[in-house]
Amino acid sequence: MKKYLLLPVFIVLTGCASTNEYQQYLDATSKVQQAQNASEAACLLVLAEAMKTADPVIRAAITVQIDKCRKESPRIDPPNRGILGIFN
């Protein structure tokens, strides 16, 4: 009788551990965040070089552009596990 009770638990645990979708999700979000950080850093570096000019009108225009360097991260949805991690 105990064997029949352990079988569903084993199936559920195997279903949760058998896929690597969550690891792929973590890798994708990490790569997107790294790319976004590099893009923002490059944008801010260009603006910092442009701020070295002595013209106050150009400096005022550049300060407006600083906020445009920062962009919201695209949303990547986590993998859908479904019922008890077995079904998608």
Per-residue pLDDT of the chain (88 residues; tens, 9 = 90+): 555 555 565 555 555 544 688 888 889 899 999 999 999 999 999 888 888 877 888 888 888 888 888 777 777 777 776 665 555 5
**Tokens standing for residue 2:** 């105990």
Q: Hey, how many other C-beta atoms are within 10 angstroms of the C-beta on 51?
A: 12
Q: Rounded to whole angstroms, what are the CA distances from 23 to 16, 17, 18, 35, 47?
A: 12, 11, 12, 18, 36
Domain boundaries, the chain: 21-72
Phi and psi at 69, nearest 5°, equal: -70, -30
Contact 25, 78 (CB under 8 A): yes
Q: Determine if the pTM surpasses 0.85.
A: no
